[in-house]
Structure 1
Amino acid sequence: MANVIVTGGFGVLGRAVVAELTRLGHAVAAVDLAATPADLACALALGGVDLGEQDAVEAAYTRIAEALGGIGALINVAGGFVWEPVDGGTLEAWDRMYGINLRTAVVSTRAALPHLLRDGGAVVNIGANAATQPGTGMAPYAASKSGVRALTESLAEELRGRGVRVNAVLPTIIDTPTNRTDMPDADKSGWVRPEAAARVIAFLISAEAGAITGASIPLSLAG
């Protein structure tokens, strides 16, 4: 079992990942910008952490490593979505998507790497199917998630042979209450349940996935 950090651990997908990894016996630290919820069951929960700021994240991860006895895996769940067309859209949307989807993954990974390289471990990033098949109004989001995929593949090569594996999952729309409210008439047959995504993520940090690195795995069924 590993000591695992889950960023964005207070959101719907983050909570599902935290629950699944805890069920499997991992010691999980959930990290988020939001206030720490009272009902999250895990080894450690740190709220109020700006995942885009290197100093804050490094301090949080040092605290986690000291509390848990090391860091063996990092799951970069933190992120967000905005629908914004290029024509008539704003540059702020592009900056926001870069900041919360790609920068958080880069900052978090940089902070975790000294710990992961010490004992070996795994990184799993949350990309998106939209990175390969973007639709209208998806450009800022898809571009940021394409960056996550590129980060995954490049870092996997950088760390090949150094004991740290790096992979990503590329889900379609996650089946969350917010998405159901925002898209009441959508065909939900291809939506991915958070619990199903969490099981794939758990597999990717396991010893059984020890031969997999640099992969971007599509998730397109409820599971």
Structure 2
Amino acid sequence: MEFVWIPTGTFWMGSPSSEAGGRSDEALHEVEISSGFWLGRYEVTQGQWEAVMGTRPWSGRDHVVSDLSHPAVSISWNAVQRFIGRLNDAAGDSLYRLPSEAEWEYACRAGSRTRWSFGDDESVLGDYAWYWDNAWDVGEEYAHAVGTKWPNAWGLYDMHGNVYEWVQDWYGSDYYDVSPRVDPRGPSSGSLRVGRGGSFVDGASDLRSADRSGFSPGGRGDDIGVRLLRIYNP
């Protein structure tokens, strides 16, 4: 796996009331990320998942192309924790984890305050993302090989679209109203885990940097994958 260094910093998380497509669970608030980290340049691929787990949970699914370079999908949040556990056992350290929701959005935005990391111009979204308009709606009803669209300003690919990405946090619709300013980690409990970034099934609004979705941690979908965080570079 290839990782990109994400430096410490402060950013505005969520969306302003004026943002087209913004939702009530995206209350704008300032967040500080106090520790830098390494984030996967790409979504975890099928080849990487199979090499670690020896399984192909996407096999036989209707909307999946089986290919080593395509994102691993049909993986639950719970299964991702087992994947991370095996990686950490092999490393002999707690080296890998999921990003928090705040860490994910900070890295996605890459210094931006616009609807998407590249700006507000929806006409160029297809240069950066696989989504409804250039995938599902034209008969390509599946996630595509990782890294085939343009990256954001920090060199991260597919932060918008292709597949949703699990993050560590429980989903809370009003959590932003009470979250700490420094390194928020989500509600202490819940029934849904957060997925970020939108997918090949979704419209442009669902790919916004601020957009949030909640999924059952035991659920699997052809449009849900994962991107890992590495705490340090060994």
Structure ranking higher on relative contact order (CA contacts 8 Å, 6+ apart):
2
Greater share of residues in helix: 1
